[in-house]
């Protein structure tokens, strides 16, 4: 049971979707129930995974010395291409979790369930909707657990198609425009990633498989560390003939500089350049841009407000709650881990992008008249904290940016659900068309207040802890590793002030003061929260409070992995950077 937990959590929605294809389309309730059941099952599995993970994390923390270690790993050969003189190309089905990904898996399971419940309001083409939504569930969770670049890319790309149709068919008035814009932007990003992926697998070997083909390791026997070192030395000495080399997409192999074929472009030792720039730094940049579009970082963010405004509520929830995190997670898992020298070399610029996103997003939010657009821009501002924390490359900063992704996942889901509440009742989201809703919808107003305060970083809510950690990290960076200047952290606090401004102002305009709505018909339509809306909102509100008051709940999960990650990036990155820049 425990051996295949991760496969279950990835493929349960896919299998449900395939079964649903054969059910006639008019059983609408059955489809919605199936979606809720499948995602609820994912939550259950996520709880199992969490339990299993924390047990093993304690054991592992005592024994393991490596910077990265993964749990609940599953690895099977998937594709093995024999390309004669080019050697073999191996693609594995390899999944596993560490502290960096487990929190994302838990978050996705939770948000996807909420999204499935919120999908109850979908009325047209229910069959197509549910099938696409379940496909999305599979690809999102798959993305967070994949440890093979090919597998990761497959899931990453496969998110696009369901999202395109979910926005384009069930969205608002300008849905086609928003859908195609989302698709094109993200595809541009994934092409950047694809280029690096091609380069990586052309350069990286699988030491174990290569050893087996070259006769250094006997098939089936236990592999010792000495044997792997022997293979790596043979590769470094060009002693293994081309047709015996096994190239791989394994992210774990890519982490180790010794696994690179010495004359390949992406090897640290080859010191190759393109147009005068070191190839490895360019590769880092390409991956960074690819994921920055998804995050989104300013100035690559313009797809987000459109997609959010036009998407139906559940899709907005999933988009803000999880899909944006794929960008941040992808940076950590690939760009930062595989090319750590880029992380150090570009730290200042990444920090600057973070600060710009924080301030620019917040200022835009201040100017928005559409409630959903306001929340979309506040998302951009909050994702800026993720960049700033990552750029600092300190334990506090990285934990902070991971925590920010987690807490933003919870809070933004809540915010979009709340925006959906208004929109469902009146089909209008303009802030100026409402006033004094507190008297008419007191419980709704209470929820909005919780969500707004959580989002603006009030102490006691998870957003506060995350942002404090990011500030600490980026402020200390000047003394610990000299990567970020202090003024960045100081400027970023401006984001908090602006955040308070736009949220409080919105609260005042929409909810307090004299009661006013634009159309008389809305008086009847505007009712307080329904039972179903409570079932979605209350767990999220409890979660943001719980993680705000007991942040160790979260930090215990990530601590070991974060310190390993920071240690790896700073030591290996320094070494690589020296080698690359000596040329």
Any contact of residue 22 with another protein (CB under 8 A)?
no
Any contact of residue 366 with another protein (CB under 8 A)?
no
Any contact of residue 238 with another protein (CB under 8 A)?
no
Among 158, 515, 522, 534, binds another protein (CB under 8 A): 158
Among 229, 239, 274, 532, binds another protein (CB under 8 A): 274
Phi, psi (degrees; rounded to nearest 5) at 339? -120, 65
Minimum distance, C-beta of residue 141 to another protein, in the bound complex (Å): 16
* Degrees, nearest 5: CA angle 399-267-148: 55
Q: For the sheet containing 246-248, what is the strand order?
A: 71-82, 88-97, 246-248
Q: How far is CA 240 from its chain centroid? A: 39
Any contact of residue 262 with another protein (CB under 8 A)?
no
Any contact of residue 531 with another protein (CB under 8 A)?
no
Strand partners, 79: 91
The smaller minimum CB distance to another protein, of residues 95 and 358, is found at 95
Give the whole-angstrom CA distance, residue 131 versus residue 152. Answer: 21
Give the whole-angstrom CA distance, residue 28 versus residue 185. Answer: 33
Binding residues for another protein restricted to 110-139, rule: CB under 8 A: 125, 128
In 516-533, which positions are buried (b, 16+ CB within 10 angstroms) versus exposed (e)? ebeeeebeeebebbeeeb
Among 169, 223, 366, 579, binds another protein (CB under 8 A): 169
Site string for another protein, 302-341 (x = CB under 8 A): ----------------------------------------
Give the whole-angstrom CA distance, residue 196 versus residue 382. Answer: 28
The smaller minimum CB distance to another protein, of residues 45 and 131, is found at 131
Minimum distance, C-beta of residue 120 to another protein, in the bound complex (Å): 22
Any contact of residue 201 with another protein (CB under 8 A)?
yes
Strand partners, 434: 517
Minimum distance, C-beta of residue 70 to another protein, in the bound complex (Å): 23
The smaller minimum CB distance to another protein, of residues 198 and 532, is found at 198
Minimum distance, C-beta of residue 83 to another protein, in the bound complex (Å): 6
Among 44, 195, 356, 431, binds another protein (CB under 8 A): 195
- Interface with another protein (CB under 8 A), residue total 41
Secondary structure class of 570 (helix, strand, coil) = helix
Which residues, in sequence order, are CB contacts of 101 under 8 Å at separation 6+? 144, 145, 329, 333
Any contact of residue 277 with another protein (CB under 8 A)?
no
Minimum distance, C-beta of residue 309 to another protein, in the bound complex (Å): 17
In 98-115, which positions are buried (b, 16+ CB within 10 angstroms) versus exposed (e)? bbbbbbbbbbbbbbbbbb
Among 118, 210, 232, 264, binds another protein (CB under 8 A): 264
Among 18, 47, 66, 184, binds another protein (CB under 8 A): 184
Count H helices and E strands in the chain, helices first: 26, 7
HSE value, Cβ hemisphere, 13 Å, CA-based, for 285: 9
Q: 582: exposed, middle or buried (C-beta count within 10 Å: 0-12, 13-18, 19+)?
A: exposed
Any contact of residue 263 with another protein (CB under 8 A)?
yes
Give the whole-angstrom CA distance, residue 326 versus residue 393. Answer: 19
Any contact of residue 82 with another protein (CB under 8 A)?
yes
Any contact of residue 58 with another protein (CB under 8 A)?
no
Among 3, 63, 84, 582, binds another protein (CB under 8 A): 84
Which residues, in sequence order, are CB contacts of 316 under 8 Å at separation 6+? 308, 372, 416, 419, 420
The smaller minimum CB distance to another protein, of residues 275 and 531, is found at 275
Among 32, 175, 181, 294, binds another protein (CB under 8 A): 175
Q: How far is CA 513 from its chain centroid? A: 39
Phi, psi (degrees; rounded to nearest 5) at 512? -110, 175
Which range touches another protein (CB under 8 A), out of 161-169, 414-422, 530-538, 547-555?
A: 161-169
Give the whole-angstrom CA distance, residue 295 versus residue 186. Answer: 10
Binding site for another protein (CB under 8 A): 78-86, 125, 128, 153-154, 157-158, 160-161, 164-165, 168-169, 175-176, 179-180, 183-184, 187-188, 191, 194-195, 198-199, 201-202, 263-265, 274-275
């Amino acid at each position: 049971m425990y051996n295949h937990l991760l496969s279950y959590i990835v493929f349960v929605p896919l299998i449900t979707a395939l079964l649903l294809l054969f059910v006639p389309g008019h059983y609408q309730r059955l489809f919605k129930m199936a979606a809720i059941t499948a995602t609820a099952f994912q939550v259950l599995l996520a709880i199992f995974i969490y339990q299993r993970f924390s047990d093993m994390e304690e054991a592992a923390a005592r024994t393991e010395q490596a910077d990265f270690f993964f749990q609940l790993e599953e690895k099977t050969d998937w594709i093995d291409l024999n390309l004669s003189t080019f050697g073999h190309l191996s693609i594995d089905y390899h999944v596993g979790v560490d502290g960096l990904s487990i929190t994302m898996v838990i978050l996705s399971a939770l948000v996807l369930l909420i999204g499935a419940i919120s999908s109850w309001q979908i009325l047209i083409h229910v069959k197509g909707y549910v099938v696409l939504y379940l496909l999305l569930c599979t690809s999102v969770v798959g993305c967070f657990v994949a440890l093979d670049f090919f597998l990761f890319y497959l899931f990453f790309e496969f998110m696009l198609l369901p999202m395109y149709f979910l926005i384009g068919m069930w969205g608002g008035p300008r849905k086609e425009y928003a859908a195609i814009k989302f698709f094109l932007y993200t595809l541009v990003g994934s092409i950047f990633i694809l280029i690096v992926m091609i380069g990586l697998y052309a350069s990286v070997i699988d030491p174990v498989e290569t050893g087996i083909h070259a006769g250094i390791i006997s098939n089936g026997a236990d592999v010792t560390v000495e044997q792997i070192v022997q293979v790596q030395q043979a590769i470094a000495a060009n002693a293994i003939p081309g047709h015996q080399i096994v190239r791989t997409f394994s992210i774990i192999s890519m982490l180790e500089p010794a696994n690179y074929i010495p004359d390949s472009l992406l090897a640290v030792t080859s010191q190759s350049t393109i147009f005068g720039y070191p190839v490895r730094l360019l590769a880092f940049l390409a991956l960074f841009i690819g994921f920055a579009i998804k995050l989104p970082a300013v100035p690559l963010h313009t797809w987000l407000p459109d997609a959010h405004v036009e998407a139906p509520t559940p899709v907005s929830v999933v988009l803000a709650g999880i899909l944006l995190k794929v960008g941040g997670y992808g940076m950590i898992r690939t760009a930062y881990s595989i090319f750590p020298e880029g992380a150090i070399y570009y730290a200042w610029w990444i920090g600057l992008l973070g600060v710009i996103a924080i301030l620019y997003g917040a200022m835009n939010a201040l100017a928005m008249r559409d409630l959903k657009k306001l929340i979309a821009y506040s998302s951009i501002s909050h994702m800026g904290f993720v960049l700033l924390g990552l750029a600092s490359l300190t334990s506090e900063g990285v934990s902070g940016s991971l925590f920010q992704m987690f807490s933003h996942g919870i809070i933004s889901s809540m915010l979009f659900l709340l925006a959906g509440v208004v929109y469902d009742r009146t089909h209008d989201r303009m802030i100026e068309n409402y006033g004094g809703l507190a008297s008419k919808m007191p419980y709704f107003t209470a929820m909005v207040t919780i969500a707004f305060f959580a989002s603006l970083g009030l102490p006691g809510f998870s957003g506060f802890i995350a942002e404090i950690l990011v500030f600490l990290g980026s402020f200390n960076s000047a003394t610990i590793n000299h990567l970020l200047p202090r003024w960045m952290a100081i400027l970023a606090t401006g984001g908090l002030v602006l955040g308070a401004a736009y949220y409080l102002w919105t609260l005042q305009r929409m909810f307090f003061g004299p009661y006013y709505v634009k159309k008389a018909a809305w008086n009847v339509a505007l009712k307080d929260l329904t039972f179903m809306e409570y079932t979605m909102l209350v767990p999220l509100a409890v979660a943001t409070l719980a993680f705000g008051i007991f942040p160790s709940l979260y930090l215990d999960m990530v601590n070991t992995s974060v310190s390993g990650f920071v240690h790896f990036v700073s030591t290996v990155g320094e070494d690589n950077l020296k080698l690359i820049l000596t040329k």
